[in-house]
Chains A and B, each alone.
Chain A
């Protein structure tokens, strides 16, 4: 894989517009999730590993979903360094485009289901199905990656 940074990756997977939209919206308190009648854009960050050992890398999951059609695209990348570093160095082979297959609203929680269509990218232990629970009340997003629960902080 060629050297890639966050901006290039978003362009690559065609998901940049939603993320850019979310990051340029007027701030009202902590803008961590943008939602209109039909669309929801989000951006979640989590450092891993999450306990005992120091954080070595950070998941960045962001996407935009059409709530009416229950479609959209998400991206997931593992960047070197803790979330506070805002590193642009993606660990090789960890960037994924995730196609949204369903969206379920359960009160303050929005559950987004997706699939990684390019199975050739998958590493051992990595599921092709992605299930992210966005909790607007707690400003968190939760998912299982590589068999491990990852709780992301929703962020602008």
Chain B
């Protein structure tokens, strides 16, 4: 539940329900290359579907990049899909500046090809298709009073992944923050239905279905004003003092997955597939001295990741 099934609106179509977002350097240290990934379709084939939402109605998947710390997009990678025979094709575009901010499918085509296979165009590599869900977490322990048993609820589960590897210069030169979002037409208007930066922000800090939908429909730029109270109140409930809660809220919002591209990736500097983000976040939000556990006991994915593109394991 990094972001799986996180709000009522996100559940209307599993294909646009974001589960996780990643940004990392291949093998953590290949700083010349950067991988951006967004996963959708929680429990694909069981709850979710195994394909992407076609873009003939305007639906679109995006990964946005904020390059200057203002929580506005400066670069957008846009992914669109089309049904083709028994399969689908995927196209990725890159837009910059003002073209990166709106919902229109603007930008320069970087690569296009068939889903389920690795697509290469010059120094751009793209994959979109069914994969093992790389997220690992003892969900049942979380739901039952943090009584963790170290059981990965997501073991054996699949998602559909969009994985893009590009020269780091296409993403930025230093500190950037990224988030992913999905948009579909509603009443004739292209509408954002899900978004995500860091794992488990919406699921852990927003308490009502209305707030969860509002968060998914919102922009990072507005996060501090709109959602600081929710974050602070949850942190206080966990036993943090007011000052610590305010400080942490200032780090957790806006909901951007930040990375210094000049350094090896390791959560909270970006997010690798194998980073134990739940333990990292429990360590941040649960205060010292608390009796609450700071680990869910699940420390790795159920299957090994590949060292080669698209890095996520083959589906179950």
**Which residues of A approach B to under 8 Å, CB–CB?**
1-3, 48-57, 78, 80-82, 84-85, 87, 89-92, 123-126, 145-148, 150
B143 contacts A56, CB within 8 Å? yes
A85 contacts B209, CB within 8 Å? yes
Scan B38-79; emit 1 where CB is below 8 A from any A CB, else 0.
Answer: 000001011100000000000000000000000000000000
B143 contacts A48, CB within 8 Å? yes
A123 contacts B144, CB within 8 Å? no
Q: Which residues of A have CB within 8 Å of B304?
A: none
- Secondary structure at the A interface, as helix, strand, loop or mixed, is loop
B46 contacts A1, CB within 8 Å? yes
- Nearest first, the 3 closest Cβ-Cβ pairs linking A and B are A148-B144, A146-B144, A80-B5
B234 contacts A53, CB within 8 Å? yes
Q: Which residues of A have CB within 8 Å of B140?
A: 123, 125-126, 146
A89 contacts B145, CB within 8 Å? no
A80 contacts B151, CB within 8 Å? no
**Which residues of B approach A to under 8 Å, CB–CB?**
1, 5, 8, 11, 43, 45-47, 139-147, 149-151, 157, 203-209, 212, 234, 237-238
Nearest neighbor of A144 in chain B, beta-carbon distance: B144
Docked pose: A31 CA to B165 CA in angstroms: 57
Docked pose: A56 CA to B206 CA in angstroms: 10
Q: A53-B204, A55-B207, A81-B8 are in contact. List 14 more A-B contacts (CB 8 A).
A: A3-B45, A48-B144, A49-B142, A51-B145, A53-B142, A54-B203, A56-B142, A78-B143, A84-B209, A85-B11, A89-B5, A92-B46, A124-B151, A125-B151
B144 contacts A85, CB within 8 Å? no
Nearest neighbor of A87 in chain B, beta-carbon distance: B11
Nearest neighbor of B150 in chain A, beta-carbon distance: A124
B47 contacts A92, CB within 8 Å? yes
Docked pose: A148 CA to B149 CA in angstroms: 13
A92-B157 CB under 8 A given contacts A81-B209, A84-B209? yes
